[in-house]
Amino acid sequence: MPIYDMEFEMDLSLGDKIKEMAEAFGPDKFLQVLNQMDWVPKNTTTSKPAEHVLLQEAVEYYFSSDSYTELAKSSKEAYRYEMGMFIKFCNKHFQEPDFKSVCTSPFLGSYLAPVKNKNTRSKKAAFLRNFLRTVLDHFYEENINKLKRVLKVTVDKRRLPRAFTKEQIDELIMLARLGRESFRNFVILWTFLGTGIRLSELRTLQVGDIKPQTQEIYVRSKGEKEYKTPSKITEFSLELLNQFVKFRYGAIRDLPNYSELYVFSDNKGISPLHDSTIQKMLANLIEEASTISDDDKRVYQLSVHSLRHSFALYLLESGVDPYTIQQLLRHKWLSSTEVYLKLFDDTLVKVINQHPLANLKVTDFF
């Protein structure tokens, strides 16, 4: 029998079996399962771009898209805040905003115009790029090339990271011991200062992540969702951390989920503290500190991340080379670490001016 006859009979047999399954489970359910298993070829025909999309519809799609759902938690919160600000602005100009009406260079320019701070403007522009790119591609099969000029993202390279002075750190630690949740706040500060970890890494620290035998804690580094990486910790901070865990969770050490408990938590280790809880704690300490000037108490000056900068700066002052600091901070690129050298320049100027010969004046000789 020719091959084509055998193939024809196989097709008939397969068709009968598929028909039986569709009749048994219902055609809609059968097709739904096939789609879930990616066994139905995608439609490659070009669909006609949408003609009219409301801003609300665009926003709903964006928040369900991979462009948003795959962002880090902190970025999601920031983008939701930015979206709220943008929607509020749009509603002032349109009764029922249409996406295409707000997706123009003049309108976007008028939205960004009042923002004078370069870094703040860049953050808003970065959000708008992500949002508009996602929606334009989905509904209109367009890109944002025409909007890039008005949505320019620039980073002020002259802006150096802000670090606390040792005097300021001493006062913050003293104040932390006097307030509410003093033991917890005291340990949080020393964990930051003894490791240089980020806020997101500290708040998600679990009991099982503390490794005394290797003097490490395991943290979920920036951009890593699948696994944790080791971060060295000073002996003093490690001892404090262990004492805190013993104080908080020593009575439930035998529980099967003991190692999964979050170290810093408000509900017995079930979930971690919120970012804002730690940020507010430090902000209150900064506000109380007499060694911190009013100018440095303003928003975007000194913050939780300044503790990471302080960790790096103090290492430089102690003579540790940038390559070692890069490893301790877990920077992928040395250029990220070298920015602290600029901070160190100010320290070198202060040190050299303390030289015994630095106080001499030219007039003493002429």
Question: Do 332 and 287 have their domain in common?
Answer: yes
Whole-angstrom Cα distance, residue 128 to residue 58? 12
Domain end, chosen from 115, 147, 179, is at: 147
Residue 366 lies in a domain: no
Domain end, chosen from 97, 120, 147, is at: 147
Question: Do 97 and 244 have their domain in common?
Answer: no
Residue 15 lies in a domain: no
Question: Do 59 and 196 have their domain in common?
Answer: no
Residue 3 lies in a domain: no
Nearest-10 Cα torsion for 290, 294, 296, 298: 130
- Predicted pLDDT of residue 1: 38
Residue 254 lies in a domain: yes
Question: Do 184 and 308 have their domain in common?
Answer: yes
Cβ-Cβ contacts under 8 Å for 60 (sequence gap 6 or more): none
Going by DSSP bridges, is the β-strand pair 229-232/210-211 parallel, antiparallel, or unpaired? unpaired
Domain end, chosen from 147, 181, 204, is at: 147
Whole-angstrom Cα distance, residue 140 to residue 48? 8
Q: Domain residues for 113?
A: 55-147
Question: Do 182 and 297 have their domain in common?
Answer: yes
Question: Do 171 and 143 have their domain in common?
Answer: no
Residue 263 lies in a domain: yes
- Predicted pLDDT of residue 30: 62
Residue 206's beta-bridge partner residues?
262
- Predicted pLDDT of residue 153: 74
Question: Do 84 and 137 have their domain in common?
Answer: yes
- Predicted pLDDT of residue 195: 95
Lookup result for tokens 């669909």: 47
pLDDT tens profile 149-188: 899 876 555 556 788 999 999 999 999 999 888 999 999 9
Residues of the chain by 3-state class (helix, strand, coil), percent to 5 = 60, 5, 35
- Predicted pLDDT of residue 318: 85
- Tally of domains within the chain: 2
Answer for the pair 154, 118: CB distance below 8 angstroms, yes or no.
Answer: yes
pLDDT tens profile 326-338: 889 888 888 777 7
**What does the DSSP assignment read for 198-235?**
-HHHHHT-BGGGEEGGGTEEEE--TT--S--EEEE--H
Residue numbers of the chain with a pLDDT score lower than 70: 1-51, 72, 74, 154-160, 222-226, 299-300, 343-366
Would the pTM of this model clear 0.85, i.e. be above it?
no
Residue 103 lies in a domain: yes
Residue 101 lies in a domain: yes
- Predicted pLDDT of residue 44: 44
**Element containing residue 29 per DSSP (H, E):** helix 27-36
Question: Do 212 and 311 have their domain in common?
Answer: yes
Question: Do 178 and 302 have their domain in common?
Answer: yes
Question: Do 285 and 249 have their domain in common?
Answer: yes
Residue 332 lies in a domain: yes
Count of C-beta atoms within a 10 Å radius of residue 337: 21
Question: Do 178 and 271 have their domain in common?
Answer: yes
Nearest in space to 122 (alpha carbons), one of 130, 223, 91: 130
Question: Do 96 and 233 have their domain in common?
Answer: no
Residue 327 sits in a domain whose CATH number is 1.10.443.10
- Predicted pLDDT of residue 221: 77
Answer for the pair 221, 211: CB distance below 8 angstroms, yes or no.
Answer: no
Whole-angstrom Cα distance, residue 305 to residue 310? 9
